[in-house]
Each structure stands twice: as structure tokens, then as C-alpha cells.
């Protein structure tokens, strides 16, 4: 499959055997747009993310660089174009070359692919899901609509949800709300958003509303609204009993454990950990296993076992990294950072995860993401 290769030291880009030399900022701009292809970026975003704070560029700087890139890449226009999106900014469009798909009209094969994705999803194996998706053209299948969207979220393609017009707002609202949960530092603001969504009857697809109800437990705990958190736990316990899903039951148990840890309820926490471990023994789920190990690490810290706590936090994070469920990894790092803020029991590991949280905030541009999310919610809710 044709793709671009980038050579950082020479500021060159290669397609097949043809190389094109670029100026440093042309190269940086092209690489940025290509790694986020088919997404729209405003000029101001490109100035912040490509040029940074150390230079004094203007909107005209972006326009000039785009103009020069278009000229230099003209011979590759059958595969890529840098388009002007009126009133928005620029988008690099990559046109995947496609040959004949002999399995295109084979419903039995499509069913097998869907079954594999559902199996990997249920087992929390995000890396396997993404590997299957990345090779869909070679394997001869198209992702069904749910997984085409879901895998963008899992792989960390967050900006797509802010810029796409292909998905109705109510179908991407859960994803946007979850992003806001991760990126927003003020839990009270996230809690207010969740309440507006649930009370506003947004008609979210599937079980998204139920998942928001589960996640509200953590937000109430972070806001120190203990009675409301206890009431929410009782409410969600009934919801989870109705759904009868091991994954949702574990998610609820994790939220409940967070409440019990903050309340330092020894007996309650031990019972919840026992239930969670029994569920995972009956139905292994890699993603959930990583989160449970992290929570056990927090519990070990509160039991005065810092060495075991360190090992468990690092082991849980390593498991989540292997799953390549990016939102879950980000949520876990956020959770560890918040834990050490509430319980400063290990200054070395606190600093370690504070640095990791700062790193992912920068990598995924959380300050910019927060502003864009607030703007979207203001327009639609």
C-alpha cells in the first residue's frame, strides 16, 4: 500500500522511490497534517501546534507554507491534497488507492470480521482491534459503522469527533463527554455537563447513557459529594443488574472501589476487590485487568505498603499500554495523578506520574481540546 515516508534529518518526504526536499517548517507542517490526515485545522491551531510559542508567525505564514507545499507536492495530487475548508482552515486529504475487493459482497465474511472485532472488544484487546482495522484493505473488508467510529476514539483520533460532520451530534456526544472527563481539570464542570446530558434526554445510542451514569460516581467522589455519590452507587447498582454485562459490572465495581478508597472503607473495598477478581477470573478482559491492578496499587498504598503499590501502579499502566486503548490509558494516568494529590504518600512516584500526566496533556493538546469541547457543548446543549 502506498504511503509517505518521512526522513527527519534531511527534511525529505518519499513516495515509492520519489523524494522531495522541503524546508524545515514545510516538512513539520506536512508531517503534522499527514499524521492527522482528513482532519480540519484552523490557522490558529496550526500556528500553536507547528510553530509554537518561540516564533512570531501570522496567519499569512500558514498560507504561504501551504502554497509552497501544494506546488512541491503537485505530482502526488492523485493521492494527497491540502484543501482549504471555507471558514475553517486546512485539511490534508489522503486518497487510499483501492483495487478490486473480491469479498465486498460476501455477508458471511463480513459477519466473521464483525465477530472478531466484538471478541477483541469484549476481551479489552485494543491493539488487536487496531491491527485488524489497519489491514482492512489488504484483508478485503470495510469496518461497520459502529467500529469505524469507535476505533477512531480508541486510537486517540480525538480531533475527528470535533470536526466531522458525518456523525449526528447525539451519536458522538458520549465520546465528547468522555474526552471532557479526561481533559477538564475541574471535576465540578464535568459533573455539571454529565447532569445536563442525562437530564436533557439526549437519546444517546445503545447503553451510552448508562455508562455516563456509572462514570458520575467518580465525579461525585472527586467533588467530595459523598451522600450524592452513595445515592448514585445505589442507583447504578440497579442499572448494572438490569444490563447483566460483565464489562459494565466491572466498570461499576471500579467506580465503587474509588468511592471506598476515598472513604478508606477497608471491609467494603476488600469485598469489591474480591467481586472484581472473581469476574475477571471467569471472563478475562485485558483492559479491565489493567485498571483493577492500578486500583489495587492505590489500596496497597493506603494499607501502608508503598513498594507493592509502586509495582502495581506500574504493572497496571503497562497492561493498559499494551491494550492500546488510548482513552483508558489517559484516564488511568489522570486517576493516579488525582490519587496522589488526595493521598501524598509517595513523593517519588507522585512526581513520576505528574510528569506522565503533563506529557500526555501536551501530546493530546488538552488545553486546546478543552476550549473546543466547551464551544461545542455551548452550541449544542
> What pLDDT does residue 97 have?
60
What are 94-105's pLDDT values in tens digits?
A: 886 655 666 767
> What pLDDT does residue 37 have?
85
DSSP characters for 161-228?
Answer: HHH-SSS-HHHHHHHHHHHHHHH-S-HHHHHHHHHHHHHTT---STTHHHHHHHHHHHHHHHTT-HHH
What are 111-140's pLDDT values in tens digits?
A: 898 999 999 999 999 989 988 887 777 678
C-alpha distances (whole Å) from 204 to each of 29, 96, 208, 298, 364 are 37, 32, 6, 33, 26
Burial (CB < 10 A; 0-12, 13-18, 19+), residue 181, is buried
> What pLDDT does residue 161 have?
93
Regarding predicted confidence, which is higher, 346 or 364? 346
Mean pLDDT of the chain: 90
Integer Cα distance of 325 and 177 in angstroms: 17
pLDDT at 202 exceeding the cut of 80: no
If one counts every other C-beta atom within 10 angstroms of the C-beta of residue 27, the result is: 20
> What pLDDT does residue 109 have?
85
Integer Cα distance of 236 and 256 in angstroms: 10
Q: Provide the whole-model pTM.
A: 0.76
Amino acid at each position: 500500500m502506498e504511503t509517505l515516508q518521512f526522513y527527519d534529518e534531511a527534511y525529505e518526504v518519499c513516495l515509492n522511490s520519489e523524494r522531495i526536499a522541503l524546508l524545515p517548517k514545510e516538512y513539520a507542517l506536512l508531517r503534522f497534517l499527514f499524521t492527522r490526515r482528513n482532519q480540519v485545522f484552523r490557522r490558529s491551531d496550526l500556528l500553536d501546534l507547528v510553530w509554537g510559542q518561540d516564533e512570531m508567525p501570522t496567519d499569512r505564514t500558514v498560507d504561504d507554507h501551504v502554497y509552497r507545499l501544494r506546488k512541491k507536492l503537485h505530482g502526488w495530487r492523485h493521492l494527497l491534497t491540502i484543501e482549504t475548508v471555507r471558514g475553517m482552515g486546512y485539511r490534508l486529504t489522503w486518497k487510499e488507492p483501492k483495487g478490486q475487493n473480491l469479498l465486498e459482497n460476501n455477508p458471511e465474511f463480513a459477519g466473521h470480521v464483525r465477530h472478531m472485532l466484538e471478541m477483541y472488544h469484549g476481551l479489552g484487546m485494543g491493539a488487536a482491534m487496531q491491527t485488524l482495522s489497519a489491514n482492512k484493505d489488504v484483508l478485503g473488508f470495510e469496518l461497520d459503522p459502529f467500529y469505524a467510529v469507535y476505533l477512531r476514539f480508541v486510537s486517540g483520533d480525538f480531533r475527528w469527533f470535533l470536526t466531522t460532520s458525518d456523525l449526528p451530534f447525539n451519536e458522538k456526544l458520549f465520546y465528547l463527554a468522555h474526552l471532557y472527563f479526561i481533559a477538564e481539570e475541574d471535576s465540578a464542570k464535568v459533573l455539571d455537563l454529565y447532569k445536563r446530558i442525562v437530564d436533557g434526554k439526549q437519546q444517546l445510542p445503545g447503553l451510552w447513557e448508562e455508562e455516563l451514569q456509572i462514570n458520575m460516581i467518580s465525579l461525585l467522589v472527586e467533588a467530595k459529594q459523598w451522600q450524592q455519590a452513595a445515592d448514585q452507587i445505589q442507583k447504578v447498582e440497579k442499572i448494572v443488574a438490569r444490563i447483566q454485562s460483565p464489562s459494565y459490572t466491572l466498570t461499576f465495581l471500579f467506580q465503587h472501589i474509588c468511592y471506598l478508597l476515598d472513604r478508606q472503607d477497608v471491609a467494603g473495598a476488600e469485598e469489591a476487590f474480591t467481586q472484581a477478581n472473581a469476574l475477571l477470573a471467569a471472563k478475562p478482559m485485558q483492559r479491565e485487568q489493567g485498571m483493577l491492578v492500578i486500583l489495587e496499587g492505590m489500596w496497597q498504598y493506603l494499607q501502608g505498603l508503598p513498594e507493592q503499590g509502586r509495582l502495581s501502579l506500574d504493572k497496571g499502566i503497562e497492561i493498559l499500554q499494551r491494550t492500546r486503548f488510548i482513552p483508558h490509558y489517559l484516564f488511568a494516568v489522570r486517576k493516579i495523578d488525582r490519587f496522589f494529590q488526595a493521598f501524598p504518600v509517595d513523593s517519588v512516584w507522585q512526581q513520576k506520574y505528574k510528569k506522565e500526566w503533563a506529557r500526555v496533556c501536551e501530546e493530546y493538546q488538552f488545553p486546546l481540546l478543552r476550549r473546543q469541547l466547551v464551544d461545542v457543548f455551548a452550541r449544542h446543549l
